[in-house]
Amino acid sequence: MAAVEFGWRLPMWPADDTPGAILIQQIENHLRRMDDAIDTIWLSDHFVPGNGWRGPEPDILEAWSAMAHWAAAFPRYRYGHIVLANSYRMPALLAKMAATTQLLTGGRLILAMGAGWKEDEYRAYGYDYPSAKDRIGQLDEAIQIIRAMWTSSPASFDGRYYRIEKAYCNPMPDPLPPILVGGGGEQLTLRVVAKRADWWNFAGTGPELYQRKLDVLAGHCAKVGRDPATIVKTWETSIVSVAPTRAEAQRIAEASAFWRHAGGQDATIVGEPGDAIEQIQRFVDVGVRHFILRFADFPSLRGISYFAEKVAPAFRPR
């Protein structure tokens, strides 16, 4: 089997009324004990909980400060966001933040970006909410600015949405962090991926739709003269529940607060170890090499420990 990497989508808010101080303890318990199964840690960039949230506003962690803390406290992992909303931070500032973080972490940053989508969050925090076309155009220009500042100092850029003039970003990052772009919009987002991204993430879907997106991406790559094989393909599962029996795995999955947003069977990894290996292999077969996992039974360590013991070794070099 092809060697792949696994990441953990760290929960940025609890599934119940657990206070933030306890959530932090639960997260750090995982970070100490995930063994060699997990390569990367991913944090979501939200100020309010996801769509369909029921109940009072939970304690929610801010994405960049939380990442900076855990990257320092747990240096065995690489870190990224899934994904940063481009609108929330000016690109020149983000370039400087990323360069500093890359230096402080010894090169363990993955800069993961998206166009932004959560309108209620934009409105609540006082951000304008442009059209999807404009948000994606802003993302395209932001990546150009970030790369310019990382590779030439000072850097200047004059675009439709952003402008910088002789902006310094010293010390420039070495090595350059890979830039991941998340999203599957076929006309605009995947064109940005083809032109700008080192990694691409598409979440919560089955391998058939993932393959369709890859075909569209390949078309955009052909237009800009790029080999699509140079883009690292990643997939984020909606939920993972692996147990000794299928019945137990299903029970754990359905008890999770994430289950109602799981997006269908193809977007999940649920079952016995052999089922999980088969489900992951279907994505490996279409080219995915990095999997971002969210475990159903958090804050318990049983699910991730069982995955590390029974599933992950099937995809590790012997």
Q: What is the CATH number of the domain that holds 35?
A: 3.20.20.30
User: What length does the chain have?
Assistant: 318
Which ranges of 74-206 would DSSP assign to H, the alpha helix? 91-104, 119-124, 132-151, 189-196
Cα dihedral sign, 162-214-151-104: positive
Domain region containing 152? 5-315
Over its C-alpha atoms, the chain yields an Rg (Å, rounded) of 19
Single pTM value for the model: 0.95
Closest CA to 244 of 317, 157, 307, 318: 307
Q: For each of the chain's 318 residues, which pLDDT tens digit applies? A: 567 999 999 999 987 889 999 999 999 999 999 878 899 999 999 998 765 566 678 899 999 999 999 999 999 999 999 999 999 999 999 999 999 999 999 999 999 999 999 999 999 999 999 999 999 999 999 999 999 999 998 999 999 999 999 999 999 999 999 999 999 999 999 999 999 999 999 998 999 999 999 999 999 999 999 999 999 999 999 899 999 999 999 999 999 877 766 655 678 999 999 999 999 999 999 999 999 999 999 999 999 999 999 999 999 876
- Count: domains in the chain: 1
